[in-house]
Amino acid sequence: MIALIDYKAGNLTSVRKALSAVGVDFVVPDSPDVCGEAAGLIVPGVGNFAATEAITSEWRAAIGSAVERGRPLLGICVGMQWLFEGSEEAPEVPGLGLMPGRVARLDGDAANRLKVPHVGWNALDFTARASRLLRGVEPGAPVYFTHSYAAPVTADCVASTSHANTFSAVVERDNVFGVQFHPEKSSDAGLQILRNFLDACR
Amino acid sequence: MLTKRIIACLDVRDGQVVKGVQFQQLRRAGDPGALARRYNVEGIDEVVILDVTATLETRQALARTIDAVAREIFLPLTVGGGIRSEDDAAAAVEAGADKVSVNTAALRDPGLITTLARRYGSQAVIVAIDAKREAGHFGVYVRSGTSAAARDAVEWAREAESRGAGEILLTSMDRDGTRAGFDCEMTAAVSDAVDIPVIASGGAGTFEHFTDVFTRGHADAALAASIFHYAESSVADLKRHLREHGIPVRL
Sign of CA dihedral B51, B53, B55, B61: negative
Residue A136 buriedness (CB in 10 A; 0-12 / 13-18 / 19+): exposed
Q: What are phi and psi of A10, to 5 degrees?
A: 70, -160
Torsion of CA A7, A13, A14, A19, to 10 degrees: 90
B45: closest chain A residue by CA: A121
pLDDT digits (tens, 9 = 90+) for B63-72: 889 999 998 8
Question: Around Cβ A110, how many Cβ atoms within 10 Å?
Answer: 10
> What is the distance in angstroms between the Cα of A198 and the nearest Cα belonging to chain B?
18
Instruction: Map residue A185 onto helix, strand or coil.
Output: helix
Higher pLDDT, A27 or B145: A27
Kindly determine whether residue B74 and residue A121, on different chains, have CB atoms separated by under 8 Å: no
Segment B163-185 shows an average pLDDT of 95
Instruction: Given the cut 0.90, state whether the ipTM is greater than it.
Output: yes
Instruction: Map residue B228 onto helix, strand or coil.
Output: helix
Picking from B37, B77, B123, B243 by the largest number of A CB atoms within 10 A of its own CB, the best residue to mutate is B123
Kindly determine whether residue B166 and residue A118, on different chains, have CB atoms separated by under 8 Å: no
Given the residues B51, B130, B183, B220, the one annotated as active site: B130
A46: closest chain B residue by CA: B121
**Taking all residues of chain A, what is their mean pLDDT, rounded to a whole number?**
95
Is there a contact between B26 and B13 (Cβ–Cβ < 8 Å)?
yes
Picking from B2, B7, B67 by the largest number of A CB atoms within 10 A of its own CB, the best residue to mutate is B2
Q: What are phi and psi of A31, to 5 degrees?
A: -140, 145
B82 pLDDT tier (thresholds 50, 70, 90): confident
pLDDT digits (tens, 9 = 90+) for B8-38: 999 888 888 887 555 555 566 678 999 899 8
Residue A150 Cα distances to A29, A77, A87, B79, angstroms: 28, 9, 9, 27
Instruction: Map residue B88 onto helix, strand or coil.
Output: helix
pLDDT digits (tens, 9 = 90+) for A59-88: 999 999 999 999 999 999 999 999 999 999
Segment B139-154 shows an average pLDDT of 88
**What's the distance, CA A145 to chain centroid?**
11
CA–CA dist B43, B251 (Å, integer): 7
Q: Which of B138, B150, B176, B194 shows the shortest CA–CA distance to B26?
A: B176
> What is the distance in angstroms between the Cα of B232 and the nearest Cα belonging to chain A?
24
124-163 of A, contacting B, C-beta below 8 A:
142, 144-147, 162-163
